[in-house]
Amino acid sequence: MEQAQAFCPTLSTEAAYDRCTTIRACLDRTNLFGASWRISPCPLLLSPDQLEFFSTLGPHLLSFYRGLNRLYSESVKGLQPAWVAGYLDQGKPESLVQYGRMKRFRDEVPAVIRPDIIPTQDGMVITELDSVPGGIGLTACLSQIYHDLDDGHSQIIGGRNGMVRGFARMLRSYQAQRLGCVAILVSEESRDYRPEMSWLAERLREEGLPVWCVEPREVRFTEQGLRIEVEGREQPVDVVYRFYELFDLLNIPKAELVQYAAKKGWVSVTPPYKPALEEKSAFALFHHPLLRPFWEKELGTESMLLLRKVIPKTWLLDPAPLPAIATIPDLHLSHRAVASWADLERATQKERQFVIKPSGFSELAWGSRGVSVGHDLPQAEWVDALRNALVSFPTTPYILQAFHKGRLFDMDFLDEGQAAVARMAGRARLSPYYFVSEGTIELAGILATICPADKKVLHGMKDAILVPCAGRPD
């Protein structure tokens, strides 16, 4: 793929500085985001090839989720290996497992799909999928600001209101002909995202959709269903957008009432209460040689070829011993086959091009928490991380994933300490947002997070630059 352009060659230093201060002022006026990141004068520009990649990726990811859902369901029924469901259910309460298996929710998959993608010298790599992603409101707000600054000429991915309207279409597909409202429930665990979801709800109301961002404790249960009080009156709730993690259910007020209302069909809830679809170990299942016939049949040739290129090799860190004649599929150290996880303890720093992270259903499994980068750790700490992952398997399974180094981008940003525009070499994480509506999926926007070059784990941090992505002008 072509190199993405990451700075603004057409802007003078003075114009770039003025634009950065304007963006900062726009964000400050929202009084929501705090702008605790570096401001860049321009969006991250994508080449036509890169834009084509992101535009066509969505249907393949939706097929992957549907395939994972079918794989899990058939494993439960005995039509696929039982260990598939066993792995995906590992460490979860039986009540939640059984709830997610209910026939009413059988075909449901996440309606918001956000992969985290690292551009490397060899192409794009998807490090994980997130079906309860933050950044929806933030990306929508940044898209509007950057679009307006350039009078619409910057070709922001999704356009000025793509994120808001895409999210609205998704919610309307759940609302059908009902007359109630949509409640975005944001937990205390996810409180840092409440401002952006409140901002998003306000924009959705401007689009004519009755959406309110509330805390779970504000929901009232009645014999007719769920209700919330907004603007001095009670409104029935038809759709709940779940902005909380399933591992946190015991700490969510009214969580059981929301589940009961969904079970009765009084409300629609998305993302669905299906923890099996929120496990990073799904990538390990995708690469497992015994499951390849299933994936080839389920996905078809085109999706299979693309996903095998972009999904990194992943293994579930199951401590069960292997027979003496067995090896771990496709895992090698300097071309040596690996027959035991203990072999990894003796790997050299150069050989430790791996990441260890919790698979899911844990407070450590989101926000880049619990992530260990092998070649970035001293030997003793690498051994500790590996052993801790194996010991944690009964309650919190971990995965081992091949590490892919992001390529460098040059990015301009506002150095507020020096009151000037500076340039940073950094590595990017691209987060496209796809919304599913009426069985189809669309790309609504892409958020770029560019971190300093010395950072191995790429995530939102105060030293990172956050910008929307745009198509490169012809």
Q: What is the pTM of this model?
A: 0.94
Do residues 227 and 291 lie in contact, with contact meaning Cβ atoms separated by under 8 Å? no
Q: What token pair was written down for 264? A: 């009765």
Per DSSP bridges, beta strands 233-243 and 181-186 are parallel
| Mean local confidence (pLDDT), 74-101 | 96
pLDDT for 381 equals 95
How far is the C-alpha of 440 from the C-alpha of 116, rounded, in Å? 21
How far is the C-alpha of 355 from the C-alpha of 398, rounded, in Å? 10
Do residues 262 and 194 lie in contact, with contact meaning Cβ atoms separated by under 8 Å? no
User: Counting beta carbons within 10 angstroms of the beta carbon of residue 413, is it exposed (0 to 12), middle (13 to 18) or buried (19 or more)?
Assistant: buried
Most confident of 3-17, 70-84, 138-152: 70-84
User: What is residue 444's three-state secondary structure?
Assistant: strand
pLDDT for 177 equals 65
Q: Round the average pLDDT of the chain to a whole number and report it.
A: 91
User: What is residue 166's three-state secondary structure?
Assistant: helix
Q: What is the pLDDT of residues 371-416, one digit of tens each?
A: 999 899 999 999 999 999 999 999 999 999 999 999 999 999 998 8
pLDDT for 338 equals 95
pLDDT for 171 equals 95
pLDDT for 246 equals 93
Which among 359, 402, 441, 432 has a CA at the least distance from the CA of 60?
441
pLDDT for 175 equals 86
| Mean local confidence (pLDDT), 437-444 | 94
DSSP assignments along 183-233, one per residue: EEEE-STTGGGHHHHHHHHHHHHHTT--EEEE-GGG-EEETTEEEEEETTE
pLDDT for 365 equals 58
- Count of Cβ atoms closer than 10 Å to residue 326 Cβ: 11
Q: Which amino acid is at 389?
A: A
How far is the C-alpha of 422 from the C-alpha of 392, rounded, in Å? 44
Cα end-to-end distance, the chain, whole Å: 17
pLDDT for 459 equals 75
Backbone angles phi, psi at 89, to 5 degrees: -95, -5
Q: What is the pLDDT of residues 320-362, one digit of tens each?
A: 999 989 999 999 999 899 999 999 999 999 999 999 999 988 8
Banded pLDDT at 150 (limits 50, 70, 90) = confident
| pLDDT-wise least confident of 90-99, 401-410, 414-423, 453-462 | 453-462
Q: What is the pLDDT of residues 224-269, one digit of tens each?
A: 899 999 888 899 999 999 999 999 999 999 999 999 999 999 999 9
Which among 8, 132, 112, 56 has a CA at the least distance from the CA of 302?
56
pLDDT for 35 equals 61
Where do runs of H (alpha helix) occur along 78-161? 82-89, 94-100, 136-149
| Mean local confidence (pLDDT), 310-318 | 97
Do residues 427 and 454 lie in contact, with contact meaning Cβ atoms separated by under 8 Å? no
Backbone angles phi, psi at 357, to 5 degrees: -155, 155
Those residues whose C-beta lies under 8 Å from the C-beta of residue 38, and which sit 6 or more positions away, are: 413, 414, 424, 462, 463, 464, 465, 466
pLDDT for 335 equals 87
Q: What is the pLDDT of residues 276-298, one digit of tens each?
A: 999 999 999 999 999 999 999 99
| Mean local confidence (pLDDT), 414-434 | 92
Whether the per-residue pLDDT at 32 is higher than 90: the answer is no
Which among 268, 275, 49 has a CA at the least distance from the CA of 173?
268
What sign for the dihedral angle of Cα 264, 268, 269, 270?
Answer: positive
Banded pLDDT at 366 (limits 50, 70, 90) = low
